[in-house]
Amino acid sequence: MKITVNTRNVEKIINKLDLTPKQVAQVSRLAANRVINMTKTDMKRKAREKYTAKAGEIAGSMSVIKSPIGGIIKSSGTPLPLTAFKLNPAKVGRTKKKLTASIKRGGLKPIAKGFLIQKGAFQRKTDQRYPIKKLHGPSQPQMVGEQSILDEIEEKVMENMEKRITHEIGRILK
């Protein structure tokens, strides 16, 4: 995803205030760095609103690469084990309860022939003891990169960038 910010209003402000090129570069760098950090936090929050994954699982996959004129928020990872999401029963134990899981918010759903052991959540492929397969949910980039999340984030980035630029201009002029 690439987000571009409309800075026409900001350019007018900068021209009226007669800022030096060095001050303009400083304003844009400080504002961009702050907005990148804010965007990373917003992406984590939005992903947690839609998915039941634990916060540390989502945050651990994200990194920020800053540059003088912007930056990149990178998320990488493999599909998360089902134990990173909401499960019932949540702990390993001898119980007759059926295993239920919720990857997206909205309620637990039963997993046919599913069971929980120390190594994770598994599902039998047949009525026999073996073969079994380990169950996984989506990866962190899939959760963070969902189109509805990106659309909300893009709007917020535009607002934040304008606010941060005006704030940094005020700070430099003091």
- pLDDT, one tens digit per residue, over 130-146 is 999 999 999 999 999 88
* Band of residue 9 on the pLDDT scale cut at 50, 70, 90: low
Instruction: Please give the model's pTM, rounded to 2 decimal places.
Output: 0.79
CA distances from 113 to 62, 70, 85, 106, 110 (A): 34, 49, 18, 22, 9
pLDDT at residue 48, as a whole number: 92
- Cα angle for residues 167, 172, 174 (degrees, 5° grid): 100
Residue 86, classed as helix, strand or coil, is strand
pLDDT at residue 117, as a whole number: 86
Q: How far is CA 103 from the centre of its chain?
A: 15
pLDDT at residue 81, as a whole number: 92
| pLDDT higher than 60, residue 6 | no
- Distance CA(99)–CA(111), nearest Å, equals 6
pLDDT at residue 155, as a whole number: 86
Residue with the bigger pLDDT between 112 and 61: it is: 112
pLDDT at residue 10, as a whole number: 60
- The pLDDT > 90 percentage for the chain reads 30
| pLDDT higher than 70, residue 1 | no
> What does the domain layout of the chain look like in residue ranges?
8-77+140-173, 80-139
* Band of residue 8 on the pLDDT scale cut at 50, 70, 90: low
Mean pLDDT of 18-36: 82
What are 96-114's pLDDT values in tens digits? 788 899 999 988 999 999 8
The alpha-helical segments, DSSP class H, found in 19-82 are 21-50, 55-59
- Neighbour tally for 47: CB within 10 Å: 24
Mean pLDDT of 3-16: 60
List of residues 6+ apart from 50 with CB closer than 8 A: 104, 105, 143, 146, 148, 149
